[in-house]
Structure 1
Amino acid sequence: MILVLCEVDPATGEVDEVSLESLALARSLSRAGGGVAVRAVVVGEVPDRDVVAATLGRHGVSEVQQATGDGVSAFGGAAWAAAVQAVLTATGSVAFLAGGTPRGMEVTAHLAARLGVPMAANVVSFDGLSPLTVRRQVAGGAAFEEMRLTTRPALFTVAGHAWQAEESGGDAAAWVETTPEVPPADLVARVVRTTDPVPDESASLTSANVVVGAGRGAGGPDGFGPVTELAELLGGAVGVTRVVTSLGWRPHHEQVGQTGSRISPDLYVACGISGAIQHWAGCASSKAILAVNTDPEAPMMTRATYAVVGDMHEVVPAVVEEIRRRR
């Protein structure tokens, strides 16, 4: 049996996209193992369990185990891991996976420490079941590593956007509610307060089909006019590098990279971005990359699908003008 941690937005009731992507890998793993059941574990309250059960059922989940109670009403890595461990033991699952989100990573790490088994982070694929061999991103996505998970249960997280979330057309998943015991020691660190997100936060960036990005090459806050205009013309979003947010030129929710958002648009236009490993970790899943830079040897230029050697302050306005002319 395969158990997948599925994160649910407590405000909207929607299942996190990375969780649905993780279910795609879980279903593939299930088929390779002869069709073992795929179950989901949801921790905490959900606005509408019928909606969640229907969504997860369409993505191949046969049963949802909901862990509830005061101990898991707010997020805490240790507390959630205690709840997941109880479900994992009760279901006898041989594999556990979660999305490569901050919460998924933290819960899986706590779980691995409790069980005394290794954990593979940012898995993108698997090859072979005896032993289970996974391929995972390392060095910020700049390289890949094969890792054998010989102990059971096998624990790993799935890299964001490494798999496509696809529905299988199943019926609504069965729902089982449990209230696992959470030791007081696991409640020391937990979320005590949340604030409403600012408008137009990173959700639009991670779901955009086109992202127009800029880095230090923009030269300053005033250098983003043409970049923003191009993004609007293409119906996309603006993305930036870490140095841009560190300098205060643009807000943090626009940051793409290891410490920002991971994107997978159909097209990523990278303007004046050198392509450091940390930034590449956030945009490597883009289906096509168009890089604009004065340095033809910049890492982003050598990795891009298409590259334009030139000054972004000349190239981008020219592209904007040509798009407007043709329209």
Structure 2
Amino acid sequence: MILVLVEVSLTGEAVENSLEAITFARDLAAAGGGIPIDAVVVGVPGDDVVKALAEHGVRRVHALTGPAYDAYSGAAWAAGLMAVREKTGSVVVMASGTPRGMEVLAHVGARTALPMAANVVSFSSLSPFTVTRQVVGGQAREEMQLSQRPALFTIAGHAVQAAPADAPGTGELVEETPDVADADLVARVVSSEEPEPDLSGSLKSARVVVGAGRGAGSADGFGEILELADLLDASVGVSRVVTSLGWRPHHEQVGQTGSRISPDLYIPCGISGAIQHWAGCSSAKNILAINTDPDAPMVTKATHAVIGDLHEVLPAINEEIRRRRG
């Protein structure tokens, strides 16, 4: 059986990355002859979550309940996940490659002395179990064999597109109350705050993203960028230097330490394309780079490029869009 850790958002929905992990698990299950897929969630999920998981092929939803799970703790979640794994005899334990997914699976690997493959994008064999994963910030890929059981790994964001199953699962809800040692609660979330509203929309799910880097010049240099985003109904994404300088809020950051995006179109303006930023945008289907440097990494990797100052290029683009729309 395959066991997938599923995260639930603050608004009570299964996060997209977790649904991607379940979609990946379905391919793995099919290759193994149709083995079942179970999910583990923390807390009792709402009906919409259970329904969504069933639609994506989950047979049973194990809900970790009890005071130990009231606040996030990587060690406590790992203890609960291990308890469900031992109960079900799962041969594969996986999660999405989110910060929490990575932390929990790393705890599981350390406790069981099992190797854990991070940022997996595909598998090529079940015997031996062989996966391909992203390394060096997504710049390279390596093949890895997981010969021990259970096989532990996380799925890179957007490695697959989440999609409902042709044959939905039953989504049976089972509450679990595994014991958690006091030592597992030493590090836990004690408070949380709502992020600033993302006025540009959901960055990770956006179909079009307009990006900006140091080339914007200053916090006041985003006028044309925000205008283009508005004209294209796009989200705004920025490089790390922009957030470090305080020009834009952190939730707009794209990159290894920010959001990983996979839009149909990404328009990076004045972004050199350092490896850390590329790790967050390499899944974009099309990239239109605007930069003064024809040899910038972002320009050389882009689908299309315009060589010029964004403050001269963008006004022309915006004007043309308005003209064509009448």
For 1:6, give the aligned amino acid: V
Q: Which blocks of at least 5 consecutive residues in structure 2 are unaligned?
A: none
- Counterpart residue number, 2:106: 109
Q: 1:320 to 1:196 in 2, by over 3 A?
A: same
SS at match of 2:202: helix
Indicate whether 1:78 and 2:72 are aligned: no
Instruction: Provide the rounded CA distance (Å) in 2 between the counterparts of 1:226 and 1:51.
Output: 40
160-169 or 267-276: bigger deviation: 160-169
SS at match of 1:239: strand
- 1:308-327 aligned at under 5 Å gives the runs 308-327=306-325
Displacement of 1:171 = 4.8
- Counterpart residue number, 1:40: 39
For 1:134, give the aligned amino acid: V
- 1:115-154 aligned at under 5 Å gives the runs 115-154=112-151
Indicate whether 1:268 and 2:266 are aligned: yes
- Counterpart residue number, 2:93: 96
1:193-224 per-residue CA deviation (whole Å, 9 max, x = no partner) reads 11122212786211211110011111111211
1:69-106 per-residue CA deviation (whole Å, 9 max, x = no partner) reads 11111110001100000001100000011001111000
For 2:163, give the aligned amino acid: E
Instruction: Provide the rounded CA distance (Å) in 1 between the counterparts of 2:236 and 2:70.
Output: 35
Give the percent of matched residue pairs that are identical in Structure 1 and Structure 2. 65
Displacement of 1:8 = 1.1
- Counterpart residue number, 1:8: 8
Instruction: Provide the rounded CA distance (Å) in 1 between the counterparts of 2:199 and 2:174.
Output: 34
SS at match of 1:55: helix
CA contact (8 A) 1:71 1:182 kept: yes
Instruction: Provide the rounded CA distance (Å) in 2 between the counterparts of 1:203 and 1:326.
Output: 25
SS at match of 2:3: strand
CA contact (8 A) 1:45 1:73 kept: no
CA contact (8 A) 2:200 2:236 kept: no
For 1:309, give the aligned amino acid: I
Instruction: Provide the rounded CA distance (Å) in 1 between the counterparts of 2:183 and 2:313.
Output: 58
SS at match of 1:221: coil
CA contact (8 A) 1:37 1:62 kept: yes
TM-score w.r.t. the length of structure 1 is 0.97
Displacement of 1:44 = 2.3
Instruction: Provide the rounded CA distance (Å) in 2 between the counterparts of 1:171 and 1:72.
Output: 26
Q: Which blocks of at least 5 consecutive residues in structure 1 are unaligned?
A: none
Displacement of 1:276 = 0.4
CA contact (8 A) 1:54 1:171 kept: no
Instruction: Provide the rounded CA distance (Å) in 1 between the counterparts of 2:76 and 2:200.
Output: 27
Q: Match for 2:161 among 161, 164, 168?
A: 164
Q: Match for 2:236 among 210, 230, 238?
A: 238
Instruction: Provide the rounded CA distance (Å) in 2 between the counterparts of 1:132 and 1:308.
Output: 44
CA contact (8 A) 2:63 2:176 kept: yes
CA contact (8 A) 1:77 1:107 kept: yes
- Counterpart residue number, 2:299: 301
Indicate whether 1:24 and 2:23 are aligned: yes
Segments of 4+ moved more than 6 angstroms:
none
Instruction: Provide the rounded CA distance (Å) in 2 between the counterparts of 1:209 and 1:178.
Output: 38
Instruction: Provide the rounded CA distance (Å) in 2 between the counterparts of 1:159 and 1:22.
Output: 9
CA contact (8 A) 1:44 1:74 kept: no
1:148-188 per-residue CA deviation (whole Å, 9 max, x = no partner) reads 11100000000111110000151541111110010111010
CA contact (8 A) 2:215 2:269 kept: yes
For 2:287, give the aligned amino acid: I
313-322 or 203-212: bigger deviation: 203-212
Q: 1:201 to 1:61 in 2, by over 3 A?
A: farther
CA contact (8 A) 2:60 2:172 kept: yes
Instruction: Provide the rounded CA distance (Å) in 2 between the counterparts of 1:40 and 1:301.
Output: 42
CA contact (8 A) 1:291 1:304 kept: yes
For 1:99, give the aligned amino acid: S
SS at match of 2:237: strand
Q: 1:151 to 1:203 in 2, by over 3 A?
A: farther
CA contact (8 A) 1:56 1:172 kept: no
